Each structure stands twice: as structure tokens, then as C-alpha cells.
A and B are shown apart, each in its own frame.
Chain A
Amino acid sequence: MNILVCISKAPDTTSKIAFTNNSTQFDENGVQFIVNPYDEWYALVRALELKETIGGNVTIVTVGTATDEAIIRKALAIGADEAVRIDADPKDAYFVAMQVASYAKAKGFDLVMTGKETINYNGSQVGGMIAEAMDLPFVSLATKLDANGTKLTLEREIVGGVQVVEVQTPAVISCAKGMAEQRIPNMRGIMAARTKPLTVIPAEAVEDLTSYVTYSMPNAKSSVKMIDPSNMDELVALLHNEAKVI
């Protein structure tokens, strides 16, 4: 099976979130970037497991600038065979999806996998957009994936439960928790990653459909009201009369 895994960079989960340029830009100063956890832990690792059991090839693709090569090498160290960087500094999910779709169409992958969302913009947009641009079926929020010939069997999250579905390849899948377990790259993987092919291709001209005009920080909580542990009736009364949530 020939699999394409889309990876995105994301700020490390402990990063301090701040904005610059009159609150119009994320302040990358001192921020450590990682592979977006959903892309790495679930999409990439499951792709590698499929390759290990049924054979094939795992390519990773990111739309990003040269500074993203560190996270590309990380994904290669975990076990991807090769990497492609589409050279652009993306601002919009539509832009990213159109770049990936056009590359994937030309290469003819059996399966395109994404994480369910990124932890910075949380849009959950790119997978569905790629599927539409390629006119392929899309299974979102998949928590299990098995392949048998051209048939994929998946479990996906639905409101209040899970569902088992079947779909034919080629298809696009967005991956959520349950798919696989995080893999820590070992020394051999890290060494091998240095020499694995990383192809840089130019981006196509695609207009952005959306932009962030400004950012702000949510209002800080006023200070916490402490309640005596032996007086739970008071807590309930406050939740009813003051907070009005019950």
C-alpha cells in the first residue's frame, strides 16, 4: 500500500502563547515546534504499522518553509520512507489542502492520512478538503484502520459512540486517538533519517480563502472562591444561585 501522511508543525504543547505585530501574528520567539501530535502519533504510526504488515511505502508531506525540515526529519526518524516539502509559508487550510491534493493526484497514492486537527488552529479542515479536491471518499475521526486488498475497514467516532465502516481505496482518512500508540524514534532511526530522500517542490498558485485578522487572549478568571469540604450544600447553592449553571 502506497500511503501519503500529511504532517504539520505545531508549537510544543507547553509553549507560551503570545502574539506580535499588533496581535496579528503568532509570536514564534522561543517556541519549540513539534510534529502535530495527531499527525505523528496516530496517522504516521498507523501508516507505518500497515506498511510493516502488508508492505508498501510511506511518504510524508508538509506544506512549509525550510525551517520545518527539523520536524520532517523527526517523522523520517520514526520510520517514514521519504518526505516531500511543498515550499510555502501557508496561512490557510484551503491553500494547504490544494497543494497536497495536487501533489497526491499526480502520484496516485492508495491512502492519504491526516491527523484529526492541528493543536494550533484546530480547524479539522485539511483532510476533508483534500478528499473533495481529489474526489475521493473521506472517513473522518477514525480510531481504527485495517486494510485488506483495496478494502479499508475503519472505526470512527460518531455522536455518542463509534461506528464500523468500510470504504474502497483510494481514500482520505483523518486519524484520532485509538489508531496507534506514539513511537519514540531510536538512534538508528535518527541516523537513517539523515539520508532519506527529502524532495522540495514549488507551491502552486492558489488564493487564500480565509485569513486571521487579529488574535487575543481569553479573559483571565477572577480569583477562585474556596469552599469548605464539609459544606457541599453551599457549593450547590452557589452553582445554582450565583453561577446559575444548575
Chain B
Amino acid sequence: MVLVYINSTTGLSKAALETVTYGKKLSGDVTVITNGSASNEQLAQLGEYGASKVLVDRSVDGEDPQQLARLVAAVADQVSASTVIFSHDIYGKAVAPRLSVRMKAGLVAGAIAVPEADGSVKVNVFSGKAVGYVKVASSKQIISLLPNSIQPEKTGSVCSVEETNGLAGASAINVLETKKPEGNIPLPEAELVVSAGRGLKGPENWGMIEELATALGAATACSRPVADIGWRPHHEHVGQTGVAIRPNLYIAVGISGAIQHLAGVNGSKVIVVVNTDTEAPFFKAADYGVVGDAFDVIPKLTEAVKRFKATQH
């Protein structure tokens, strides 16, 4: 029996559908536990991705990982789950370790594939420079799945949704304010990312990067020095000491491709590099390369994307 925790406070994210799909690949019997305000109709759709049943605690806001760990542990007990699955997002990173101690269940953090025949699970190590296979020694296990590692798959039909409460205890975290810039695509979940580096010369030149991102429906990212000097916000910094991402498409503009930068992005399925310097190390990690001046190439690329999008409708 597999238990999947998803956060549905802002509806059903792609990461949520991925974790339910993952659960289905491990077991025919998948219970989902969630909190928050998604409607019963929405939650019932998780059945299409493999859930047999959804339990929802609407009294829990999901802001305190301690509360969530109590809730998930109690439900895991009720349904005799031997495996609990999270997304390796902010919730998985906060709750799964707590649950590991609570259930004394080994945690595989950041799985990138379904378990191998010997039960071990593939994860990225050394910030994506290598992969490792983790084996859990305890009888129960917890797996947190790195977003964008598998695709959601519809295999079934809507399932039942039941309310639960009284399992989570009180919250110790008092939320004073939530700041969410409108229209932002969260970087770790983004399928397409346009990223730029010091080659852009100054923050005033990011307009063309944002236009390309908008044309593609992509999120924006940057190299570390760009965030350090304040040209871009910190949460856009990708790399070994920033956010690690693995989108389907990563377009790197004016970024040299230093080893610490590559470490955070080399899990991307396809990499496009735009750089004036033919010798830029990033070309060695790229699938497609354009040697050229970003100020010339990017507006042209944006126009080409717009032309392409126009033919798609």
C-alpha cells in the first residue's frame, strides 16, 4: 500500500500529478492525503492518475511541517502504508525528513526514476554531476520525487474523496504575510526556462529575456553573479549553490557555463546556449548552440517563437 502526500492549497499542481502517477507505478493501491481548499471534484480527478482514494484535512493550512508530519504519519498508520511519497518540493523537503524520523522509515530524497529491480532508487548526487542508487534498510520507506522526473499519466477514473480531521494537532508556525508575484512560473516546476548571465551587461537589458520567456511560456533564471550584484532576485539563481532545475528546455544566454552553474542545470533535457565566445565551456554541455551577440540573437529568436506559435493555433 502506497500513501502519497500532495499539497493542493493552490489546486492540483503538475508535481502533485507526478507523485500520484509515481505511486501508481509502485502499487495498485494508492491513497492520497492532502490538506487545503481544493474542491472535492478537483481532488476526485486524482483517481485518473492512479489514486484509489483521497483523504483531505481541510483544517490544516499546510504551513507547519510538524503538523503535516503528524497528519501523514497517522494516515500512513491507518492505511498500513509501507511506502510514502512526496514531491521533492518545499513541502517534501520540510515534511519528509520529519516523517522519516517519526516512522523510522528510510528517506530517498530527490528520486529521479521509479525503483530499480533490486529496489534501489536513482537520485542526483554532487549537484547533478553524478547519480547514485539509494537502498532503504527499514521495512517502511519514504520517497520524495524530484519535480519533472516523470510525466503525469492518466490510467483510471475519478475516485472517492473523504474528509478527515483531528490527526494533525496545532500549528507552531504563525504566517504573517505571503508574497507571490503574479504570473510567475515557479522555477523548480517550470518545463521551459530562459536564463541569462553577466553577458547581458546590466539589469536594464532583461526586457528581451522576459519577452522571450513570455513568448515561450517559460520561467526566467540567472547565473549567480547576476543575483549577487542584485540585477535579478535571489530565487532566480540556478546552479550548485542556487536552485537545481531539470526543465525540458534550458536556454542559456550570456552564461559562460562554469562547473558550478552546470551542476544545477545539467539535468535539463535540452540545452540551448547563446554566447559570443565560441570557446565558452557551456557549448560542451549544449544540444544546440548559437555563436552570436545576445542583443541581436534574442529578439530574433523571440520573433521566430512568435511566428511558430501563430502557426500552432
Contacts and interface: CB of A to CB of B under 8 A. Distances in A.
Interface of A: 11, 13-14, 17, 19, 37-38, 41, 92-94, 97-98, 116-117, 119-129, 131-133, 137-141, 143, 153, 157-168, 177-178, 207-218, 221, 224-230, 232-233, 235-240, 243, 245-246
Interface of B: 10, 13, 63-66, 69, 88-90, 93-102, 104-110, 118, 120, 124-138, 172-181, 184-186, 188-189, 191-192, 216, 227, 234-235, 237, 240-242, 244, 248-249, 259-260, 263, 266-267, 269-273, 283-293, 296-297, 300-301, 303-305, 307-308
Contact of A93 (B65, B107, B234): B107
Contact of B137 (A133, A160, A207, A239): A207
B102 A235 contact: no
18 contacts: A13-B241, A38-B241, A97-B97, A119-B263, A122-B125, A122-B244, A129-B98, A132-B99, A137-B66, A140-B90, A158-B90, A164-B175, A213-B134, A214-B133, A218-B131, A229-B293, A232-B300, A243-B249
Contacts of A160: 180-181, 184-186
Contact of A128 (B98, B104, B283, B286): B98
Contacts, number: 277
B240 A161 contact: no
A222 B192 CA distance: 21
Nearest to B176: A164
Given A210-B134, A246-B308, A162 B89 contact: no
Contacts of A164: 175-179
Given A19-B130, A132-B98, A165 B174 contact: yes
Contacts of A126: 97
A230 B174 CA distance: 54
Contact of B289 (A93, A98, A225): A225
Contacts of B108: 210
B287 A159 contact: no
Contact of B125 (A158, A162, A215, A233): A215
